[in-house]
Structure 1
């Protein structure tokens, strides 16, 4: 991988990688650290990463770093309001919906949450997710099925309350 190819990867994938880390950790600083560490590892292992597999490599590294941080109990507990903005006048408040979805996702086990985010937010295939998480494709499908079932139950419980 040349410097130009690396720079292209940074410009192409840094935003998606950041959003993935931010949704998982809820901390701007932690998400930036994950992105920086992921790209550092890409550069350090540039000779071993196959051409065309850079995105999978980056998300795999980020996923594992996030799992490590969650296991160590370094989840963000600070003020999340700094990440929110008010909607423009006359525009719907999608932040409220986004926050509600985030709360629903937070009720899932970490692995299920990560798989849902990789599949539904980032568009990864089952095979790619299996490679990233070191699970079989069947296991990935089962975890996603269970996560979606749990989300339906959670949303159903909320509808019954409202």
Structure 2
């Protein structure tokens, strides 16, 4: 990969990678750190990267770093008084975007990533498999299960109103 190809990759894919990571992590600073690290790793290994596969490489690296961040976050436990469930909500949740974000939050990391890559970013099953390290059939099965879980969550009136 040449310097020109790297700069073109940054221009074309930075927003897409950031959006994908932000939807998964739901924290702007962590998402920026992951994206920056992915581009840094890409720069370091640019001599070994085929320019035509730069998008796959970038998303793969960002995906794996996002999983690492999520695993680290799971090890940190918050006291009960600081947990999200303990907060008092003074108004009902009726915004469609918030409902969808809450529905996505119900999925595990793998399912959420697959839904975001397929339905938000528009990747093919094969590309998603290459990014996540899953086979194409695993991607289809996990994505189907995630969509069923989302549907079951979204059809309950108490979750939408």
TM-score w.r.t. the length of structure 1 is 0.82
Task: Report which of the two has the higher share of helix.
Answer: 2
Counterparts of 1:1-150 in structure 2, within 5 Å, are 1-73=1-73, 96-150=95-149
How far, CA to CA, are the matches of 1:106 and 1:158 in structure 2? 17
Q: Contact 2:99/2:159 (CA < 8 Å) preserved in 1?
A: no
Q: Deviations over 1:103-162 (max 9, x none)?
A: 100001110000000001111111111111111110000000000000110011236875
Gaps of 5+ in 2: 83-93
How far, CA to CA, are the matches of 2:134 and 2:4 in structure 1? 33
How far, CA to CA, are the matches of 2:127 and 2:54 in structure 1? 12
Aligned positions, number:
145
Query: Relative contact order (alpha carbons < 8 A, sep ≥ 6): 1 or 2 greater?
Result: 2
Q: Contact 2:154/2:160 (CA < 8 Å) preserved in 1?
A: no
Q: 1:54 to 1:154 in 2, by over 3 A?
A: same
Q: Which residue of 1 aligns with 2:85?
A: none
TM-score w.r.t. the length of structure 2 is 0.83
The two structures, once aligned, show a CA RMSD in angstroms of 2.2
How far, CA to CA, are the matches of 1:3 and 1:160 in structure 2? 48
